Amino acid sequence: MPTKKIVIGSDHGGFALKTHLVKFLWEKGIKVLDVGPECSESCDYPIYARKVAEHVRLSGLGILICGTGLGMSMAANRFRGVRAAVCTNEYLARMARAHNNANILCLGERVLGFGLAEGVVDAFLNTKFEGDRHLRRINLIEDITE
Ligand code: RB5
């Protein structure tokens, strides 16, 4: 389990799952920084993607939740050093960490039940990057500037 704070954010479409996961993580003794929003009023997901990405791009892990996870991942991946992955099951979450060194997990509240989302979060947080050939490939992604 990570010792560093997990940074979490959502839009209105992910607010209920964010609230659930903040409690889920605190109950496990994991420190959480919730960058908002504070209520389920309609809002724009890129604003919260930016807040989480700016925390995570240098170190640590984050979670972004919207209706599908898609908008959040598109926005977060615009930040250099961010590797955001939409994961809909535990296998994807493990691979996102082990092979892609993903540092932001994107979830869709309208896609996942809360129980499955907990499993996906656990898989993401408990898997380490394998490095080696995967590091070479990630560095090649970082080289892409077009
Ligand atoms: C909001 O209705 C919805 O579009 C948003 O939460 C997200 O799913 C976008 O990718």
The hierarchical CATH code for the domain 5-142 is 3.40.1400.10
Q: How many residues does the chain have?
A: 146
- Decide: pTM greater than 0.95: yes
- At 139 the three-state DSSP class reads helix
* pLDDT at residue number 145: 77
The ligand 1 site (C-beta within 6 Å) comprises 11, 13, 45, 66-68, 70-71
Name which residue sits closest to atom 5 of ligand 1, judged by CA. 67
Average pLDDT over residues 29-39: 97
55 flagged as catalytic = no
Q: Which two tokens stand for residue 130?
A: 């394998």
Give the pLDDT confidence of 5-23 residue by residue, as tens digits.
Answer: 999 999 999 999 999 999 9
- For residue 17, the surrounding DSSP H or E stretch is helix 15-27
The residue extents of the domains of the chain are 5-142
pLDDT score of 3 more than 90: no
